[in-house]
Amino acid sequence: MPSPGVWAPVERHFRDGHTETWWAADARLSGYGPDSPCRLVVATTDPASLPEKAT
């Protein structure tokens, strides 16, 4: 994965055989992150349409 907060394309494979390109980014939140024992990854089908702040 690239640096935290940088979206990277991920090819997702479904049981029915089709694939989709999703986007994933490492995130940091309260002890979770790329350099902690528990990694936090955010995934979406379209990072451009995410609201400014979301849960």
Contacts of 42 (CB under 8 A, 6+ apart): 24, 25, 27
DSSP string over 10-51: EEEE-TTS-EEEEEEEEE-BTTBSTTSSS-EEEEES-GGG--
Query: What are the phi and psi torsion angles at 54 (to 5°)?
Result: -150, 160
pLDDT tens-digit readout, 1-55:
556 568 999 999 999 999 999 999 888 777 776 777 777 888 888 888 876 665 4
**Contact by Cβ (8 Å): 38, 32:** yes
Q: How many CB atoms lie within 10 A of CB 12?
A: 12
In this prediction the pTM is: 0.66
